[in-house]
Structure 1
Amino acid sequence: MGQTFLSPDTLIPFSETGKLGIMHLKRFWNKVLLKRENKLSQNDWQDEWQLDRTLLSALGLGLEQCLIYIFRETPSFGKFETWIIETAGYPRQEDVLRFNDLFGDKNKEPANVIQPVLDVEQLKCWQENGYVIIRNAVSKDDCEETIEVICDFIGVKRVDPATWYKQHPSIQGIMVQLFQHPLLNKNRQSEKVRMAYEQLWQRKDIWVTADRVGFNPPETERWKFPGPNMHWDCSLTLPIPFSLQGLLYLSDTEASQGAFTLVPGFHNRIEKWLHSLPAGTDPRKQDLHALGSTPIAANGGDFIIWHQALPHGSRPNTSDKPRFVQYFTYEPVDIREADLWI
């Protein structure tokens, strides 16, 4: 006998809320528990995926941290809401109301009066290269304080190399599973960053994600760069939809300092490249550096936005200083990922 899945009609309704007053949360909790028990089909899981992501953005939660918690703890809904409050605090009422409005008048036109923040040269760089650098998006002081928060969290001292390679349960390669802190939230609310995303999306109804941070120390004889190397975070099913990713440099970062790396302009030639590969070739296993990878040096407080069709990643840090970054992006609720992952 095949696997029996529950129908989406049997799920908790979107409208049912708890003490946080936010719609869809109870349904999301319901779906994750069913997914854990393999009682929800992949198609039904994917159908509301972007709505789920937007819900977590409104709550200030990281996607990975939330899924891990539910899968491990299988909490009651009341316990889940309590965990949300303890982890991310009470959501802003304006975010709750804005999210709940998504279930209101479907014909309501979103406000789209875009105030441009990217100049002619930045837009030219974007069109030709698929990325743009927003200079001084976050103050130096806030970046320096954010670095101290990261160092305290993982138990390292910024000026003491002997502490940089300690094991810590929240360190995964060069990623640090730190999602919530007032400074991280403040950085995510940078007006320059939000306006740049609005200009590139050409819409204002976008939501900021609560992503993690990064710590990439210099390579040594005993510690080697663990990746992620060059990759894509989207399916390579054509056509690749427009979507954006971003990171904030928290410290001045030289090209040799494990700098963020991408292949400029590849969004303009990815279809031709994919079609040129022999049948059966896995595009993800090619030498993506050979496509023209370029490390992006920038200063603390600078924010990089790139098109998701660009191969991108980090690189070995051959300098004598660690690299500190914060990841986040802005996205609308109605983008859809490809049904087939390639």
Structure 2
Amino acid sequence: MAPLPPTGPDPQATVFDPEDEEAYERFFHEHGYVVVRDVLDDAHVSATVDELWQSPSLLGAYPRLKRNDPQSWDDDQWPAGCRNFLDPLDPCSEVETWRNRVVPAVSRVFHTLWRGLRFDGEREDDVDGRLVVSVDRMGVMRPTKVKMPGKDGSAADDAPLTEKRDWRTSRNWLHWDQNPWVSPGFFAVQGILGLSEGGATSGGFVTVPGFHKEFAHWAQEHPEGSLPRVTRKTVPFSVPLTDEMQDRRLKVVVPRGGLLVWDSRMPHENFPNEDDQWRLCQYVTFKRLPTEGLGKRAAAWHAGIRTGLIPASFARRFSAEEHAILGMAPLEEQAKGLQEALEEGESLSPEALEAARKLRRAYRLKQIAMDPRELMEAKQLFQEAFAVNPRLKEPLQCVGAAEDSYLPFWIL
């Protein structure tokens, strides 16, 4: 039997002021998540939403999609695979999403919540390591109750709402982005930036309040081998539909411009959009890296810049402090390495840049492939990219090493 729908929104889900650090830190440690308002101002949010619709790497890549025309949102025109997430083909060119990652108010919340915490395997002398931001995804859910336009192309204010049930995303995928058998302790702090004024029916976040305190015990009660189709390598790790925690799920609503942050030990999922509003958000994660991890992270950035996977012009947008937040420079004295990567990246041939674009397309296609034909197409693109520029294998190897730090690179 499928679990009951989540209740909510969570009556305890107080929305905190950014200045009230002590209060929201206390709430976070008690409940495993917290919502902080107004980390992005209205202008930043509006610019990000405009970018989402206009950028040729995001929804702008689909010219038949019209922002205010529900008829254009049907499945035959909607991006393939876009049910909860929109994976940019080339997120490094997206100005606003990158600006949001380095906004001081955002990093301040993460720094506040990370102080005093130590993740699994972290040495005591690494507790003062640097917090580094992820390169993550956008979340997009269509309205599923819409006013369809008439023959003149417009919808009257009193037009009835048409229900589009097949546009709704699936429910009942409670999961962790952390394997309980490998990392039963604290590991990371994940987050969502709200880009739309969500409600209890417009799609969004579901969790089990306080479960971060039960996570290690749950792993002991469900040892490796006791659950079908999951192993120590399984991430995301799904919660069984019959687990009692399913009946404790609650919705958490994130206001426009607000930030929801949760302990990665918290089971979570999205609830489907069941009303006439968009659900738009940007995912962001911060992880504290020791010196070795910073070196791996910087190596991945530098290799990507040198080979064209990351435009050198993009890296020049940021200050030295923002380079540190992104993990481009592991140590101050190694900033020269970034400068060399920038100079080399700016002298790339058109052929090398085209190879980088093919590799990004191949990686994206592999992520959303639904049949063997698409997988073969991705394989062909990989081969073509490497044939033109064999050095592209270096960034992939560096990213593989950096991914161990739980900082996803969606840049490839």
TM-score by length of 1: 0.58
State the 1:216 CA deviation: 1.0
Secondary structure at 1:150 match in 2: helix
Match of 1:90 in 2: none
1:207 is aligned, of 132, 138, 142, to 132
Match of 2:177 in 1: 233
Q: Sort the Cα spacing of 1:320 and 1:169 in 2 relative to 1 into closer, same or farther, 3 A.
A: closer
State the 1:271 CA deviation: 2.4
Q: Which runs of 5+ in 1 are unaligned?
A: 1-115
Letter in 1 for 2:189: L
1:255 is aligned, of 196, 200, 206, to 200
How many residues matched? Answer: 223
Match of 1:177 in 2: 87
Is residue 173–residue 227 contact of structure 1 (8 Å, CA) maintained in 2? no
State the 1:304 CA deviation: 0.9
**1:124-139, aligned counterparts within 5 Å?**
124-139=26-41
2:209 is aligned, of 264, 269, 286, to 264
Q: What does the per-residue CA deviation read over 1:13-67, in whole Å, with 9 as the maximum and x for residues that have no partner?
A: xxxxxxxxxxxxxxxxxxxxxxxxxxxxxxxxxxxxxxxxxxxxxxxxxxxxxxx
Secondary structure at 1:332 match in 2: strand
Q: Sort the Cα spacing of 1:121 and 1:244 in 2 relative to 1 into closer, same or farther, 3 A.
A: same
Q: Which runs of 5+ in 2 are unaligned?
A: 1-17, 116-127, 145-163, 229-236, 294-403, 407-412
Is residue 218–residue 322 contact of structure 1 (8 Å, CA) maintained in 2? yes
Q: Sort the Cα spacing of 1:216 and 1:229 in 2 relative to 1 into closer, same or farther, 3 A.
A: farther
1:119 is aligned, of 17, 21, 35, to 21
Q: Sort the Cα spacing of 1:162 and 1:252 in 2 relative to 1 into closer, same or farther, 3 A.
A: same
Find the aligned partners of 1:168 and 1:206 in 2 and give their Cα distance.
Answer: 36
Is residue 235–residue 337 contact of structure 1 (8 Å, CA) maintained in 2? no
Q: What does the per-residue CA deviation read over 1:241-287, in whole Å, with 9 as the maximum and x for residues that have no partner?
A: 33111110101111211111111110011223333448713583413
Identity %: 25
Q: Is 2:226 the partner of 1:280?
A: yes
Letter in 1 for 2:168: K
Structure 1 vs Structure 2 CA RMSD: 2.7
Is residue 191–residue 284 contact of structure 2 (8 Å, CA) maintained in 1? yes
Is residue 218–residue 316 contact of structure 1 (8 Å, CA) maintained in 2? no
Find the aligned partners of 1:269 and 1:229 in 2 and give their Cα distance.
Answer: 19
Is residue 206–residue 330 contact of structure 1 (8 Å, CA) maintained in 2? yes
Q: Is 2:217 the partner of 1:292?
A: no
Letter in 1 for 2:131: I
Match of 2:66 in 1: 157
Is residue 207–residue 266 contact of structure 2 (8 Å, CA) maintained in 1? yes
Find the aligned partners of 2:239 and 2:97 in 1 and give their Cα distance.
Answer: 34
Match of 2:381 in 1: none
Secondary structure at 1:172 match in 2: coil
State the 1:332 CA deviation: 2.1
State the 1:293 CA deviation: 1.4
Find the aligned partners of 1:170 and 1:328 in 2 and give their Cα distance.
Answer: 23
Q: Sort the Cα spacing of 1:328 and 1:170 in 2 relative to 1 into closer, same or farther, 3 A.
A: farther
Match of 2:262 in 1: 306
2:165 is aligned, of 210, 218, 221, to 221
Find the aligned partners of 2:255 and 2:186 in 1 and give their Cα distance.
Answer: 30
Letter in 2 for 1:209: S
Secondary structure at 2:273 match in 1: coil
Find the aligned partners of 2:279 and 2:194 in 1 and give their Cα distance.
Answer: 8
2:284 is aligned, of 321, 324, 328, to 328
State the 1:172 CA deviation: 3.3
Q: What does the per-residue CA deviation read over 1:147-201, in whole Å, with 9 as the maximum and x for residues that have no partner?
A: 1221233243343322233445565322111223111111111211101111222
Letter in 2 for 1:323: R
TM-score by length of 2: 0.49
Deviating more after overlay: 272-281 vs 191-200: 272-281
Secondary structure at 1:206 match in 2: strand
Is residue 214–residue 324 contact of structure 1 (8 Å, CA) maintained in 2? yes
Find the aligned partners of 2:191 and 2:169 in 1 and give their Cα distance.
Answer: 21
Letter in 1 for 2:25: L
Deviating more after overlay: 235-244 vs 168-177: 168-177
Letter in 1 for 2:36: I
